[in-house]
């Protein structure tokens, strides 16, 4: 019952901190689940259920500096090494195979090396894809060290902004998105004789599309009697059936991993407040486990992390147990602040990391002994018909649950506390919904068309909803990128659009810019819009951050405000310091600069004149409307300029907008337009449904602009309204 809380006095502390107790965590029921330990072996038929926590096998956050001899000793100890002959035979025999390898099996670093040692790639090269840049780079560095060669020669990597390969490169690690872009130019992927698609279980939209591309390339190369293409699908979890079916019942090989056992605990009853349950569990464990046991807590987002962090710090002042260091971790956190997650806590101090699912696969934190899993995740889905995106907290899949638990068993045996009952876990879906089923498709469609592939017959494991495909084709038609929805042949404009590695709505903006004499500004703006949020607003400093933001504000709205920020950043001499003072994200702004350079290079190749509109920001907004004309909203009550007069309440009512699809939407509270008289019409970059429908990044426009920029759409839109 509540004994554990009473014994550590948590209950009173929680009350003192204003935390309401809805449900105590009752005795947590333990269930030991054995993870694969040091046994290694290959078995094709007997697939055992063990903890599946698919992360690449590379040791992250550790510089490669071991001696060549040490590296060889370490290699020989890897499970994959012990079965290498068998593996090589299978690879020789089969054109396609699936390799299920647990964490620590060594598949990602070793298989490409084994292939190369046997020269199985022949005259071609081996491509190994990864969903993340860091992984592609660090693994390539590791493999180059193991092979005792310089990076960029035999072993290389290719990620956006960085191509460290040469004509001699035989083993090339690259992001899946990068291989996809190579496929536009060369759909048969002729450079490669072997393609390894790693982390296939993550089902990124790029990996899913690549599945189809390699399948078609294999077939066509066979038909044309070219060098055959071998394909190896590597995955951590065991969604084998769908993969196998898709790849013509190809053989599946199972590799055991090498991780430590993790004991799984579930709560006896459902918790209706997982934040509260997490805080309770943290202090319950805090009072009963040694101080050198670090905790990793999975939460859904920045705000939640900040709230929980605040509560923990308040309670920790009076709670039983060693001193505590609480570290937040989420992608938007500036890297300097992320660093303390990896810094060792002083002896006798416990480290508690509060993280989003960034710690699930993207980053590895050493020495985690306890994982506390709330079992929820924030997930984005897209509604093709309305063009709105929904960001909602949902329960995560079983695979994610295993993945999270596995984070406690990386360096030592550990424990995972799930804040939901075991039977709830059993009822959850095995895997998360693949990205391709819940994402905008215009970009991928454009890419396929540019590669000369017919989307209507393109083989996908999980086809996206028909509505999404239709909506995306319609959008491409409205941009003038394809001839018609029934005959989606790329136009000259569409061909040009496909060359830009950004959302089609923004490549449309860039290609329209010369007409408005504003490519200079459009490049900067699109670069920022294509990057992550440049504003960093910690919860407790909102007021201060808001004040600092004033100097960048433009009465025209958020887009010009962003442009002002970007221009000021480019001019600032001490960028890092300047960003800190202005509550801006240095990393994301630097990234935007790189993106701008890349976009500029493409514009130059297309001979687009790079001219500036100066202070004529109307020009820039009209140009922006060329790509965002589907994202207009009108002030409800027909402009409202006449009657507004009243007080605060009337102002609030006047801020209601209606979108082109007839949906009620509100300006996001962070918008630069908030402080001003609401404009009769505006355009927005994104429509996000959280509690309500919010327009993110919005700017004022003249209602008649829409008729000038997209007359067909404007006409249709008016009849709809």
Partner DNA sequence: GAGCACTGC
Residues of this chain that interact with DNA (CB under 7 A) are: 131-134, 159-160, 175, 177-178, 181, 204, 206, 300-303, 330-332, 356-358, 362, 377-380, 391, 443, 501-502, 530, 532-533, 535, 537, 542, 648-649, 652-653, 655, 666, 668-670, 674, 688, 690-692, 694
Q: How far is the CB of 542 from DNA (least distance, A)?
A: 5
SS3 state at 116: helix
Judge whether 235 and 100 are in contact, CB under 8 Å. yes
Q: Could you tell me the sign of the dihedral formed by the alpha carbons of 58, 60, 63, 66, in that order?
A: negative
* CB closer to DNA out of 40 and 365: 365
Q: How far is the CB of 360 from DNA (least distance, A)?
A: 8
Q: Which residue has the tokens 């013509």?
A: 248
Tell me the C-alpha distance between 678 and 656, whole Å. 9
Q: How far is the CB of 114 from DNA (least distance, A)?
A: 26
* CB closer to DNA out of 21 and 431: 431
Judge whether 532 and 588 are in contact, CB under 8 Å. yes
* CB closer to DNA out of 82 and 331: 331
| Residue 555 token pair | 């009465």
Q: How far is the CB of 500 from DNA (least distance, A)?
A: 8
Q: How far is the CB of 82 from DNA (least distance, A)?
A: 32
* CB closer to DNA out of 219 and 677: 677
* CB closer to DNA out of 374 and 530: 530
Tell me the C-alpha distance between 160 and 212, whole Å. 22
Q: What is the DSSP string of 304-355?
A: HHHHHHHHHHHHHTTSSSS-EEEEEE-TTS-HHHHGGGTSPPPTT-EEEEEE
SS3 state at 527: helix
* CB closer to DNA out of 329 and 710: 329
* CB closer to DNA out of 194 and 305: 305
Tell me the C-alpha distance between 97 and 231, whole Å. 7
Q: Which long-range contacts does 58-61 make (Cβ < 8 Å, 24+ apart)?
A: 58/108, 58/109, 58/135, 58/138, 58/139, 58/142, 59/142, 60/134, 60/135, 60/138, 60/363, 60/364, 61/342, 61/363, 61/364, 61/366
* CB closer to DNA out of 530 and 659: 530
Q: How far is the CB of 133 from DNA (least distance, A)?
A: 3
Judge whether 445 and 455 are in contact, CB under 8 Å. yes
412 CB-side CA count, 13 A: 11
Q: How far is the CB of 366 from DNA (least distance, A)?
A: 18
Q: How far is the CB of 670 from DNA (least distance, A)?
A: 3
Helix H or strand E segment including 79: helix 79-82
* CB closer to DNA out of 412 and 537: 537
Q: How far is the CB of 627 from DNA (least distance, A)?
A: 15
Q: Which residue has the tokens 């958020």?
A: 558
Tell me the C-alpha distance between 481 and 705, whole Å. 21
* CB closer to DNA out of 517 and 588: 588
Tell me the C-alpha distance between 319 and 16, whole Å. 12
* CB closer to DNA out of 185 and 574: 185
Q: How far is the CB of 348 from DNA (least distance, A)?
A: 30
* CB closer to DNA out of 556 and 599: 599
418 CB-side CA count, 13 A: 32
Secondary structure letter of residue 463 according to DSSP: P
Judge whether 468 and 457 are in contact, CB under 8 Å. no
* CB closer to DNA out of 133 and 707: 133
Tell me the C-alpha distance between 706 and 628, whole Å. 10
Report how many helices (DSSP H) and strands (DSSP E) the chain contains, helices first: 29, 22
* CB closer to DNA out of 277 and 599: 599
User: Which ranges in 374-530 belong to alpha helices (H)?
Assistant: 398-406, 422-427, 442-450, 466-479, 492-498, 504-512, 519-529
Q: How far is the CB of 227 from DNA (least distance, A)?
A: 25
Burial state string for 495-509 with b = 16 or more CB within 10 A and e = fewer than 16:
ebbbbbbbbbbbbbb
Q: How far is the CB of 499 from DNA (least distance, A)?
A: 10
Q: How far is the CB of 365 from DNA (least distance, A)?
A: 13
In degrees to the nearest 10, what's the CA dihedral of 130, 135, 140, 143? Answer: -100
Q: How far is the CB of 440 from DNA (least distance, A)?
A: 9
């Amino acid at each position: 019952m509540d004994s554990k809380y009473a014994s550590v006095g948590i209950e009173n502390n929680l009350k003192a901190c204003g935390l309401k107790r809805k449900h105590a965590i009752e005795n947590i029921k333990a269930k030991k689940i054995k993870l694969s330990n040091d046994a290694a072996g290959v078995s094709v038929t007997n697939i055992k259920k063990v903890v599946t926590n698919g992360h690449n096998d590379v040791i992250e956050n550790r510089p490669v500096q071991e001696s060549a001899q040490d590296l060889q000793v370490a290699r020989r100890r890897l499970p994959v090494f012990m079965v290498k002959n068998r593996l090589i035979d299978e690879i020789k025999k089969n054109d396609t195979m699936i390799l299920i390898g647990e964490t620590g099996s060594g598949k990602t670093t070793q298989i490409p090396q084994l292939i190369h040692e046997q020269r199985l790639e022949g005259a071609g090269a081996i491509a190994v894809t990864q969903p993340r840049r860091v992984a592609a780079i660090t693994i390539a560095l590791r493999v180059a060290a193991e092979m005792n060669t310089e990076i960029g020669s035999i072993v290389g990597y290719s990620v956006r902004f960085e191509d460290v390969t040469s004509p001699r490169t035989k083993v090339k690690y690259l992001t899946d998105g990068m291989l996809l872009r190579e496929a536009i130019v060369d759909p048969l992927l002729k450079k490669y004789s072997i393609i390894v698609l790693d982390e296939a279980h993550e089902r990124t939209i790029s990996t899913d599309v690549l599945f189809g591309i390699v399948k078609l390339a294999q077939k066509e190369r066979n038909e044309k009697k070219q060098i055959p293409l071998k394909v190896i699908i590597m995955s951590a979890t065991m969604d084998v059936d769908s993969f196998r079916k898709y790849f013509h019942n190809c053989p599946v090989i199972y590799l055991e991993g090498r991780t430590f056992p993790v004991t799984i605990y579930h709560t006896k009853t459902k918790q209706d407040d997982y934040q509260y349950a997490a805080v309770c569990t943290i202090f319950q464990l805090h009072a009963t486990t040694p101080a050198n046991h670090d905790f990793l807590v999975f939460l859904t987002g920045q705000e939640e992390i900040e709230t929980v962090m605040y509560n923990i710090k308040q309670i920790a002042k009076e709670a039983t147990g060693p001193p505590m260091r609480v570290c937040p971790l989420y992608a938007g956190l500036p890297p300097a602040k992320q660093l303390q997650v990896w810094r060792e806590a002083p002896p006798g101090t416990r480290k508690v990391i509060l993280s989003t699912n960034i710690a699930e696969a993207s980053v590895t934190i050493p020495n985690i002994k306890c994982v506390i899993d709330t079992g929820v995740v924030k997930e984005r889905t897209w509604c093709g018909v309305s063009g709105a995106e929904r960001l909602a907290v949902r329960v995560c899949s079983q695979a994610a649950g295993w993945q999270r638990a596995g984070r406690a068993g990386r360096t030592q045996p550990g424990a995972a506390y799930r804040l939901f009952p075991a039977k709830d876990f059993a009822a959850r879906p095995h895997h998360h919904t693949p990205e391709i089923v819940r994402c905008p498709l215009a970009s991928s469609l454009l890419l396929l068309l540019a590669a000369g592939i017919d989307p209507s017959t393109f083989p996908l494991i999980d086809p996206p909803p028909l509505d999404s495909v239709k909506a995306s084709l319609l959008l491409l038609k409205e941009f003038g990128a394809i001839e018609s929805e029934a005959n989606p042949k790329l136009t000259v404009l569409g061909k040009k659009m496909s060359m830009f590695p950004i959302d089609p709505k923004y490549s449309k903006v860039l290609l329209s810019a010369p007409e408005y004499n504003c490519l200079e500004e459009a490049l900067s703006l699109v670069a920022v819009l294509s990057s992550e949020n440049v504003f960093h607003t910690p919860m407790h400093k909102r007021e201060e951050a808001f004040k600092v933001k004033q100097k960048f504000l433009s009465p025209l709205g958020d887009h010009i405000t962003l442009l002002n920020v970007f221009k000021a950043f480019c001019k600032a001499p001490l960028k890092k310091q300047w960003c800190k003072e202005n509550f801006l994200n240095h990393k994301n702004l630097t990234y935007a600069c790189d993106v701008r350079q890349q976009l500029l290079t493409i514009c130059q190749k297309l001979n687009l004149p790079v001219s500036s509109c100066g202070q004529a920001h109307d020009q820039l907004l009209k140009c922006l409307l060329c790509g965002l004309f589907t994202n207009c909203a009108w002030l409800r009550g027909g402009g409202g300029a006449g009657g507004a007069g009243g007080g605060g309440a009337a102002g609030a009512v006047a801020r209601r907008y209606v979108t082109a699809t007839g949906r009620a939407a509100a300006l996001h509270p962070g918008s630069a337009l908030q402080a001003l008289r609401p404009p009769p019409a505006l355009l927005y970059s994104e429509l996000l449904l959280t509690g309500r429908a919010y327009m993110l990044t919005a700017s004022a426009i003249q209602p008649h602009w829409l008729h000038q920029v997209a007359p067909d759409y404007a006409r249709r839109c008016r009849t709809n309204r």
